Amino acid sequence: GSAMSNNQITVIAHRDKLRARDAERLRDALRNEAFEVQWVEIPKGRAATKAARRAIERGAEHLVVAGGGKQFDDFLLVFLFV
């Protein structure tokens, strides 16, 4: 895939745990900050690591993980210390 520009951000969102209204508010907030948003929905929290790795391989410099839950918390801890 092609490299992403610095104003692009990838959001990894848990399909079932992030409410539609909150997802739209997140999209709007990021767009208001001039980010081009790449939205990746995942069906389970354990898919977050693979989705993040794929986004980074495609050049993502900014990631947001949204949707909560223990698996997401575990993912964030691992991701922050990699």
- What is the reported pLDDT for 7? 80
pLDDT in tens, 42-73: 998 888 889 988 988 888 888 888 886 655 55
- What is the reported pLDDT for 74? 53
Which uninterrupted H or E stretch holds 11?
A: strand 8-14
User: What values do phi and psi take at 75, rounded to 5?
Assistant: -60, -45
Q: Could you give the CA distance from residue 14 to residue 8 in angstroms, rounded to a whole number?
A: 20
Asked if 14 contacts 42 with a C-beta cutoff of 8 angstroms, the reply is yes
For the whole model, what pTM was predicted? 0.73
Q: Six-digit token pair at 41?
A: 């929905």
Read off the DSSP letter of residue 44.
Answer: S
Over residues 2-9, mean pLDDT: 67
Check pLDDT > 50 for residue 82: no
Residue with token string 């767009």 = 31
Q: Could you give the CA distance from residue 38 to residue 60 in angstroms, rounded to a whole number?
A: 9
